Chain A
Amino acid sequence: MQRDTRISRGRFLKVMGAAGVAGSTLSILACQPNTNPQQGGGGGGGPEEKKLNLYNWADYVAKSTVPGFEKETGIQVTQDFYSTNEDLLSKLRAGGTGYDVIVPSDYMVEIMIKSDILLPLDRSKIPNFKNIGENFRGLPYDPNNEYSVPYQWGTTGILYNKKELGQLEDSWEPMWSPEFEGKIGMLNDERETPGAALYKLGYSVNATDDEQLAEAEAELKKQKPLLRGYFDSTQNRPLVQNGDLLLGHVFSGDAFLVMSGNEDLDYIIPKPGATRWTDNMCIPKGAEHPDNAHKFINYILDAKVGAALTNYTYYNTPNDASLPMIDGALKKLPGYTLEPEVFDRLQVIEDVGEATRKYSRLFTEVKSS
């Protein structure tokens, strides 16, 4: 049975491939006269056309990143965006090929490796890998960095209005406090939000034990009447900023983005646990420009490019060589530069296999209550 699907998918890919080839032939013909003169054809040879299709999170490259790469290599970058790891996976599963570089988060890299949809990287083409810090090499989801190279990292915590609430303790309790009823926004995320409940209870964010999950579910059901709603991090950010919310569950970069212009806001990484995540650059199987993809990955890992990227995204860089060039004001924001003891309490969301569906049902149950 499995074979049948494989075959039909293979056939589908062939059709898509043929369409892609036809498309690219046309575009080669169309673009010939415009070939960038700066390039001069010196980029590693190969018959690859000067194109790269980047599939990334929205607003996740600096303004200078793509133009800089195009100027340096003569490779034209086409960008496409997704808003969740799951969107990315579905798109690839549905036969959405043609992407050369994708930027999945840690647990999604693991799923993609297990699903055999990533191309192994050729490290000899990524000399700048040497810039990656010790803490960000060989993470559990890809122990030898065979398929992935870190892009940015950050934490998931609480953005809140310090002016109204005063300085809060590093704790999840405020997100469950009846005092702030109607002024709390959690993430609309099947792992992060059950994860917050698990952290609060002192369990692992990757718990699969039914009793622990049931406790987490009870916590979330208790919390729900206090919530304004379940939002994306990019929604919670303006809601806290404009006062609709007092507390919002957000990704660190979203917090720093508003905190840099507003001293009334603060960000905490709660005890006893919170999420640390890493987004990674990978090349999906079926990429039409793998050589260009390696060049792009190497370009991002350059010290200056990496610093410009982080100074724009307000996340953290895994690039040690970029660290000295990170904006001083950004480094000083609370929760940006992490003390070792804070770093140690962070957990990485891992793929939980079968239990993924338990989390899905749990979150549906909570939202339905």
Chain B
Amino acid sequence: MGERKGRGWSLGLAGLLTPVTIWLGLFFLVPLLFILAYSFGTSGIYGEMTLGFNPGNYLRVFDPLYLEIVGRTLVIALTNTLLCLLLGYPLAYFIAFKGGRWKNILILLVMIPFWTSLLLRAYAWVVILSGNGIANRTLQFLGITDEPLLLIFTPQAVTMGMVYSYLPFMILPLYAALEKFDVRLKEAAQDLGASRWHTFWRVTFPLSMPGVIAGSILVFIPSAGEFVIPNLLGGARTVLVGNLIQAQFLQARDWAFGSALAVMLAALLVGAIMFYVRKVGAEKLEGV
């Protein structure tokens, strides 16, 4: 195959790929290798690193306390992914099929939150949801409640904050997948006697599967590493893997254990995603 394309072409491609290779190598691969090397090292009391081969850091991950934290994190990340899918799919569907000439503006509106840093938006939620914040004052003004409700620093606030933050990552790939969808396929299905529901489940949804997969991965991975939202909106009452890793790098001065946790989390996520893509992806993608 390569030979047929000719040498000049692949040289050109190599030239184009060089900058990104250097970039990824320097700023992605090298730090990753550092983490891998650290994860087998030993952190001294004052955080000084000694490299070596110390598998003890990995054994410590299996402490029931830490396993519980990993389990809790995965449940939260999975819940967040499902919620984003349930909320995002109808919107992506609407924009793709009913958006008409408003399509681009609607998609732009989905992306607008990205123009402000996540941290600022999280702080904004603190202001909105606090005891005498806008949400509570509106509820009281409308006579729906008498007393301020406990809105902020609750598990619900964390869920809300995470869905809010990651929803666009679900909508955009879904929209991209649905937007390419050939509407004539729907017409064909209906001509052949399928109900609208049937058409959706047997034709539209399977064909949007690449978007579902991409969106789910884009939401699931950062959700599993989240540590800002639980602290800011949850009052730091729960510990997720992200918080645990952060604490190892800062307070505990244990970069070796923190690195081992990070490697394990990465391995777990890669495993989960391979399983997901194989299980869901292969069937649906090839089944069509």
Asked whether B52 lies within 8 Å of A356 as measured between CB atoms, the reply is: no
- Choose among B68, B236, B247 the residue that contacts A231 (Cβ–Cβ < 8 A): B236
Report how far A356 CA is from B237 CA in the complex, Å: 21
Asked whether A93 lies within 8 Å of B47 as measured between CB atoms, the reply is: yes
Contacts known (A93-B47, A242-B130); A368 close to B153, Cβ less than 8 A: no
Question: How many A-B contacts at CB < 8 Å in the complex?
Answer: 92
**What residues of chain B lie closer than 8 Å to A93, measured between beta carbons?**
47-48
Can you list, as one digit per residue, whether each of B216-253 has a CB less than 8 Å from chain A (1) or not (0)? 00000000000000010011111100001001111111
Asked whether B236 lies within 8 Å of A230 as measured between CB atoms, the reply is: yes
Write the residues of chain B forming the contact surface with A, with a CB cutoff of 8 angstroms. Answer: 41, 45-52, 65, 68-69, 72, 130-132, 150, 152-153, 231, 234-239, 244, 247-254
- Cβ of A87 < 8 Å from any Cβ of B? yes
Query: Whole-angstrom distance from the CB of B201 to the nearest CB of chain A?
Result: 41
Report how far A244 CA is from B148 CA in the complex, Å: 9
Asked whether B247 lies within 8 Å of A360 as measured between CB atoms, the reply is: yes
**What residues of chain A lie closer than 8 Å to B234, measured between beta carbons?**
229
Asked whether B253 lies within 8 Å of A87 as measured between CB atoms, the reply is: no
- Choose among A114, A231, A356, A360 the residue that contacts B235 (Cβ–Cβ < 8 A): A231
- Cβ of A182 < 8 Å from any Cβ of B? yes
Interface band, chain A: 35 or more
Write the residues of chain A forming the contact surface with B, with a CB cutoff of 8 angstroms. Answer: 1-2, 4-5, 84, 86-87, 89-90, 93, 111, 114-115, 182, 185, 188, 190, 224, 227-231, 239, 242-244, 353-354, 356-357, 360-361, 363-365, 367-368
**What residues of chain B lie closer than 8 Å to A114, measured between beta carbons?**
46
Query: Whole-angstrom distance from the CB of A117 to the nearest CB of chain B?
Result: 9
Asked whether B65 lies within 8 Å of A364 as measured between CB atoms, the reply is: yes
**What residues of chain B lie closer than 8 Å to A87, measured between beta carbons?**
250
Asked whether B236 lies within 8 Å of A86 as measured between CB atoms, the reply is: no
**What residues of chain B lie closer than 8 Å to A244, measured between beta carbons?**
130-132, 152
Report how far A357 CA is from B247 CA in the complex, Å: 10
Asked whether B46 lies within 8 Å of A111 as measured between CB atoms, the reply is: yes
Asked whether B252 lies within 8 Å of A357 as measured between CB atoms, the reply is: yes
Contacts known (A5-B51, A364-B244); A356 close to B238, Cβ less than 8 A: no
Report how far A87 CA is from B249 CA in the complex, Å: 9
Asked whether A229 lies within 8 Å of B235 as measured between CB atoms, the reply is: yes
- Choose among A89, A239, A242 the residue that contacts B47 (Cβ–Cβ < 8 A): A89
**What residues of chain B lie closer than 8 Å to A353, measured between beta carbons?**
45
